[in-house]
Amino acid sequence: MLDHVKMGLLADYYGGLLTEHQLKIVRGYYDEDLSLNELAEITGISRQAVHDILRRACDKLLRYEQKLGLVAKIACLQARIEDVIVSTDTKTADTLRNILDEIKEI
């Protein structure tokens, strides 16, 4: 299940760098929990073609994260902000929570 979450998160960050067709298959598989057969029916291509597209798209997403590291950097920043929230006064903590919420929307 962790791979599903990770790939969905990578698609959130880097999905715009995939083709529309690749993104549709990645979103269907990871976000909508569709099977390869269901995706094949929806897209009108073979199950093997869906598998190949999904594999290539996932490889691309992993390479983007490896080179750019946006997901890891943002997770680190979120953890640091949460640590500061715990050790600060209420007004500052509220401000930091708002900033953290904005980061999560990115």
Domain limits, the chain? 2-68, 71-105
d(CA 6, CA 27): 12
CATH of domain 2-68: 1.10.10.10
d(CA 98, CA 101): 5
> pLDDT tens digit string along 55-85?
999 999 999 999 999 999 888 888 888 888 8
Question: Which alpha helices (DSSP H) does 15-89 contain, by range?
Answer: 20-26, 36-43, 47-68, 70-86
Is-contact 61 10, C-beta < 8 A? yes
Q: What is the structure's pLDDT at 1?
A: 44
Q: What is the structure's pLDDT at 77?
A: 85
Average pLDDT for the chain: 91
d(CA 74, CA 58): 20
Q: What is the structure's pLDDT at 90?
A: 83
When pLDDT is averaged across residues 18-37 and rounded to a whole number, the result is 96
